[in-house]
């Protein structure tokens, strides 16, 4: 029988296809990864080799996380400038802002999406306070 998967964006679909190409990652695991993190975040974690972040996904162990990074590092993020990657310059601001938004009742995925929108539309440096305030707006 056939199973149909739907995606918000073509980037999510493309990333899903890349994830299921990794040995040990099936459709349900790829779906779990995409429901835990945004596509941009996953690409960022792969490029920065953040095994711990990928391992935070339910059902992903250390070896699978490493395999995802090794297999996809050269395939993801093509055509993106380093500055376009999500929050690479200052993870502390991201983490503090995320904690604040989670404390206000946002889910991790919604909080990240709101923060991404603010970062994309903001030029230059941003403070934790600005990021949280603009994410709420």
CATH number at residue 76: 1.10.150.20
Q: Is residue 61 part of a domain?
A: yes
| Residue 4 forms part of a structural domain | no
What's the whole-model pTM score?
0.59
**Interatomic CA distance for residues 60 and 25, integer angstroms:** 9
Domain carrying residue 57:
10-80
Model confidence at 65: pLDDT above 80: yes
- Whether 111 and 50 share a structural domain: no
35 and 93 share one domain = no
Identify the residue with better confidence: 77 or 101: 101
Count the Cβ atoms, other than its own, within 10 Å of residue 121: 8
pLDDT band at 82 (very low <50, low <70, confident <90, very high): very low
* pLDDT at site 13: 93
What pLDDT sits at residue 79? 53
Residue range 35-62: average pLDDT? 89
1 lies in a domain? no
**Residues 102 and 129 reside in one and the same domain:** yes
Shared domain check, 26 and 48:
yes
> Rounded to an integer, what distance in angstroms lies between the CA atom of residue 100 and that of residue 83?
24
């Amino acid at each position: 029988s056939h199973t149909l998967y739907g995606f918000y964006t073509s980037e999510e679909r493309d990333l899903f296809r890349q994830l299921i190409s990794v040995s040990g990652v099936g459709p349900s695991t790829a779906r779990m990864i995409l429901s835990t993190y945004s596509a941009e975040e996953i690409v960022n974690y792969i490029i920065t080799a953040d095994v711990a972040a990928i391992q935070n996904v339910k059902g992903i162990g250390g070896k699978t996380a490493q395999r995802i990074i090794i297999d996809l590092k050269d395939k993801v993020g093509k055509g993106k400038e380093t500055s376009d990657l999500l929050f690479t310059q200052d993870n502390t601001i991201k983490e503090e802002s995320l904690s604040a938004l989670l404390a206000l009742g946002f889910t991790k995925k919604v909080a990240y999406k709101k923060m991404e929108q603010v970062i994309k539309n903001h030029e230059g440096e941003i403070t934790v306070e600005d990021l949280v305030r603009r994410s709420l707006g």
